[in-house]
């Protein structure tokens, strides 16, 4: 009910700047010049990093050269390995996407345009640091040498799937690679990473934790619980927020991007924060290295926002042309991470277009060979899967009576329906 001369209240509903068919203009984005951002000491007070939460740490300039205090000064061999791993991740994505369209798996999620946000951190961390990824960090597994065949077995949920078909495709788990099981529930990995990091500190270990979510997941309660615990107990953990502008069909404004940056959340919790050009592999590497060194020195957690762009759909179940302009991908001012690192190596005289084309062909063949090997173990709906009884196993040390009865009934009914079926 209106009172006196007071104005009527109005509700603000965030609306993206561009919709399908709109002309795209990113001129209002504040893109910092490469090399101009200061690099504080790794053990500085958290407040010294807070101006960087509103800036954008960049290393690669418009001339494709590395510049400024954040330049990690990586040697050419390391740069080529980073480039190859990102290109392999992209080749893997392309092949698995086609496999889904061919009915070989039910679901897939590509990370096109975001490869630097997983590959560069994986290379900056120690191999035994524990990572708690989201569902778009396949580049970490590839960087850590996890076999492509095993990844494809899991995607196809076939008889060689180490997770026995119990996880959605692309929700990997790899203990030997210190890769925590991916969960489809948003942001659950954040408090898990903090708890693991706290345990590492309690034991006096030297291993730290790193975890990833998309910007939309910062609206989840688990994000804030994790930040509180990490701040209070000074947990040795790196929080990565991959701001790729879109959470399925909802743009980043619904998670608060209209008000401030996602890195600015670090300010409110009193921890270190960095906002990084997520399409600059050198900047991402340098920021992760800085945060890892800080955590190992008992100086506390760091929140890193990777400012990037999701070049393709959220998943194979999504059609981005229904909610965003097709021009966005081409007009994105920070370019493509693979191409930027390639051009940097060319500028150094350490790479060429011919070498890059040859590498791409080699990687396509590599992924094709791994796919054919995995397909020997079966694909979706072709009957080559784990024995039926395994769905009742691996939860209890001894199967309770009611599950044992259910198992026997299920197997009995299956034999009646398919007399030719034999349990292996």
Active-site annotation, residues: 310, 314, 323
User: Taking each helix axis from N to C terminus, what angle separates 281-296 and 116-124, rounded to the nearest 10 degrees?
Assistant: 40
Of residues 213, 215, 170, the one with CA closest to residue 188? 213
Sign of the alpha-carbon torsion through 113, 241, 71, 77: negative
Q: What is the dihedral of CA 92, 129, 168, 152, to 10 degrees?
A: 30
The encoded tokens of residue 300 equal: 């506390």
Q: Which residues contact residue 198 at a Cβ distance below 8 angstroms, ignoring those fewer than 6 apart?
A: 229, 233, 235
SS3 257: coil
Alpha-carbon distances, residue 366 vs 20, 206, 389, 391, 395 (angstroms): 37, 36, 35, 33, 36
Alpha-carbon distances, residue 383 vs 2, 386, 387 (angstroms): 66, 9, 10
The encoded tokens of residue 30 equal: 């504040």
d(CA 194, CA 234) in angstroms, rounded, equals 10
d(CA 167, CA 352) in angstroms, rounded, equals 41
Q: Which residues contact residue 159 at a Cβ distance below 8 angstroms, ignoring those fewer than 6 apart?
A: 377, 378, 384, 385, 386
- DSSP secondary structure letter of residue 13: -
């Amino acid at each position: 009910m209106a009172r006196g001369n007071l104005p009527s209240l109005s509700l603000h509903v965030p609306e993206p700047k561009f919709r399908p068919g709109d002309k795209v203009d990113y001129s209002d984005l504040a893109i910092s010049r490469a090399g101009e951002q200061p690099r504080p000491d790794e053990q500085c007070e958290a407040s010294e990093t807070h101006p960087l939460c509103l800036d954008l740490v960049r290393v690669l300039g418009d001339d494709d050269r590395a510049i400024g205090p954040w330049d990690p000064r990586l040697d050419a061999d390391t740069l080529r390995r980073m480039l190859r791993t990102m290109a392999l991740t992209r080749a893997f994505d392309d092949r698995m996407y086609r496999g889904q369209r061919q009915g070989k798996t039910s679901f897939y999620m590509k990370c096109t345009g975001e490869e630097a946000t997983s590959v560069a951190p994986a290379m900056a961390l120690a191999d035994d640091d524990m990572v708690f990824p989201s569902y778009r960090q396949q580049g970490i597994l590839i960087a850590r040498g996890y076999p492509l065949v095993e990844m494809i077995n899991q995607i196809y949920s076939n008889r060689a799937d180490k997770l026995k078909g119990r996880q959605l495709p692309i929700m990997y788990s790899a203990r030997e690679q210190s890769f925590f099981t991916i969960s489809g529930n948003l942001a659950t990995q954040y408090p898990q990473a903090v708890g693991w990091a706290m345990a590492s500190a309690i034991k006096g270990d030297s291993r730290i934790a790193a975890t990833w979510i998309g910007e939309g997941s910062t609206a989840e309660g688990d994000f804030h619980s994790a930040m509180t615990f990490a701040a209070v107990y000074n947990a040795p953990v790196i929080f990565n927020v991959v701001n790729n502008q879109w959470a399925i069909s909802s743009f980043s404004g619904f998670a608060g991007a209209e008000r401030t940056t996602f890195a600015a959340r670090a300010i409110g919790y009193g921890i270190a924060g960095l906002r990084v050009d997520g399409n600059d592999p050198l900047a991402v590497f340098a920021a992760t290295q800085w945060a890892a060194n800080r955590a190992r020195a008992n100086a506390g957690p760091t929140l890193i926002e990777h400012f990037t762009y999701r070049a393709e759909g959220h998943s194979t179940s999504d059609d981005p042309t229904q909610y965003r302009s097709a021009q966005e991908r081409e007009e994105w001012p920070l370019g493509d991470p693979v191409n930027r690192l390639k051009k940097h190596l060319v500028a150094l005289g350490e790479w060429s277009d011919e070498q890059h084309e040859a590498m791409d062909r080699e990687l396509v063949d590599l992924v094709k060979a791994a796919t054919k090997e995995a397909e020997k173990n079966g694909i979706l709906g072709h009957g080559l899967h784990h024995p039926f009884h395994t769905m009742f196993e691996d939860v209890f040390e001894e199967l309770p009576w009611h599950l044992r009865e259910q198992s026997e009934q299920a197997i009995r009914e299956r034999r009646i329906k398919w007399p030719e079926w034999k349990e292996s």
